[in-house]
């Protein structure tokens, strides 16, 4: 039976000038939908898992269009909530070579930001699930979203579902009166798997050192939060906006595991690559017996996302396995 993933978070409209044009050149925008947690769920759906995303959309034609996007890409939308009338948006100007990408957000007052805990029945949502995933962006959006996320992880712990959290967050998003540290500390207590980095662990919890080793920071995080079984991250080397190198890494409490570096010499779209890494690790840990195999799968999935336009890693299980096993040729498959 296929494994089931449930995710929770905002889905936004992504508007980009065609190709690699700058905002100042745009006379039209390409439209797709995306959001960190939904990106993870859709990617797992493409890998053959059952996946369901919980969010709140405006009760209008835009909300229905976004729902259709999720359905079209393998997700169950049975637990999408509707209300109010604003869709969160972000504008992306894609960088190339030595010009960085730029992002502008418009999400304040969105339908999702107004979500409240009593709008979601987590016992019902998580029934039959194997895994629940969230990111640190969701509890930063609003107090209602944070409270809803806390109910989700508590329920998952009670039922016995694995919880993963991508705890890296954006400090400038926390505007509703609670600090990043107090909210994320409570949420992280309920995590079994954490995605983060030396910098993320230090900035969030004051643990480790910015210039220190990943293993040391990860162990300090596990000491502070005993439920955590694995801390996972990746090293990214940005040679240019168009040329990246990715290496996966994990500390599981007894062993530091690191993958070989994958070289991505022609980046098509970098957005969503961290979500692709998370989805790959979730799939890997649910389907492979050893951590290195799972981490290799995650790193290959992340590398492939750099070649896919849009927020979501719409690649097949066969694509990821092929790269994981060393086929970097890009030959036509007939």
Cβ–Cβ < 8 Å for 229, 194 = no
Domain assignment present for residue 100? The answer is: yes
Cβ–Cβ < 8 Å for 257, 231 = no
Res. 334 pLDDT band, cuts 50 70 90: low
SS3 158: helix
Res. 311 pLDDT band, cuts 50 70 90: confident
CA–CA dist 281, 160 (Å, integer): 19
Domain assignment present for residue 271? The answer is: yes
Cα dihedral sign for 184, 194, 271, 262? positive
pLDDT at 171: 81
The CATH number of the domain holding residue 292 is 3.40.1190.20
Domain assignment present for residue 107? The answer is: yes
The arithmetic mean of pLDDT across residues 102-116, rounded, is 94
Least confident of 67-81, 159-173, 218-232: 159-173
Residue 102, token pair as written in the block: 């730029």
Domain assignment present for residue 73? The answer is: yes
Domain assignment present for residue 160? The answer is: yes
Q: How many domains does the chain have?
A: 1
Least confident of 91-95, 249-253, 297-301: 91-95
Percent share of the chain, pLDDT over 90? 87
The arithmetic mean of pLDDT across residues 55-59, rounded, is 98
Domain assignment present for residue 328? The answer is: no
Domain assignment present for residue 332? The answer is: no
Domain assignment present for residue 333? The answer is: no
Cα dihedral sign for 15, 19, 20, 26? negative
Residue 269 has pLDDT above 90, yes or no: no
pLDDT at 81: 97
pLDDT at 52: 98
The arithmetic mean of pLDDT across residues 249-271, rounded, is 94
The arithmetic mean of pLDDT across residues 32-45, rounded, is 95
Domain that holds residue 95: 4-321
pLDDT at 303: 96
The arithmetic mean of pLDDT across residues 142-167, rounded, is 97
Residue 138 has pLDDT above 80, yes or no: yes
pLDDT at 296: 97
Percent share of the chain, pLDDT over 70? 99
Res. 61 pLDDT band, cuts 50 70 90: very high
Res. 30 pLDDT band, cuts 50 70 90: very high
The arithmetic mean of pLDDT across residues 142-151, rounded, is 97
pLDDT at 210: 81
CA 139 to chain centroid, in Å, comes to 14
pLDDT at 172: 82
Residues counted in the chain: 334
**What value does the mean pLDDT of the chain take?**
94
pLDDT at 75: 96
């Amino acid at each position: 039976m296929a494994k089931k993933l449930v995710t929770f978070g905002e889905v936004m409209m992504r508007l980009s000038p065609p190709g690699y044009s700058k905002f100042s050149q745009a006379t039209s925008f390409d439209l797709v939908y995306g959001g960190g947690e939904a990106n993870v769920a859709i990617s797992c759906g493409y890998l053959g898992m059952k996946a369901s995303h919980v969010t709140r959309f405006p009760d209008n034609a835009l909300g229905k269009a976004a729902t259709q996007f999720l359905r079209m890409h393998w997700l169950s939308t049975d637990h999408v909530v509707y209300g109010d009338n604003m869709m969160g948006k972000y504008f992306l100007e894609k960088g190339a070579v030595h010009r960085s990408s730029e992002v502008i957000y418009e999400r304040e007052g969105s339908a999702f930001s107004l979500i409240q805990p009593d709008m979601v029945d987590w016992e019902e949502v998580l029934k039959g699930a194997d895994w629940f995933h969230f990111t640190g962006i969701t509890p930063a959006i609003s107090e209602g979203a944070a409270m809803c996320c806390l109910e989700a992880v508590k329920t998952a712990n009670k039922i016995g579902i694995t919880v993963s959290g991508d705890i890296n967050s954006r400090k400038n998003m926390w505007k509703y009166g609670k600090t990043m540290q107090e909210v994320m500390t409570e949420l992280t207590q309920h995590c079994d798997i954490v995605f983060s980095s030396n910098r993320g662990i230090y900035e969030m919890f004051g643990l480790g050192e910015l210039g220190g080793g990943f293993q040391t920071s990860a162990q300090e995080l596990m000491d502070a939060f005993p439920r955590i079984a694995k801390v996972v991250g990746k090293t990214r080397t940005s040679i240019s906006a168009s040329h990246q190198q990715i290496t996966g890494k994990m500390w599981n409490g007894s062993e530091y595991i690191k993958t070989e570096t994958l070289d991505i010499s022609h980046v098509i779209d970098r957005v969503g690559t961290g979500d692709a890494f998370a989805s790959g690790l979730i799939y890997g840990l649910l389907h492979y017996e050893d951590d290195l195999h799972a981490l290799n799968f995650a790193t290959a999935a992340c590398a492939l996302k750099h070649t896919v336009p849009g927020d979501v890693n719409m690649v097949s299980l066969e694509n990821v396995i092929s790269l994981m096993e060393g086929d970097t040729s890009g030959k036509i498959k007939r």
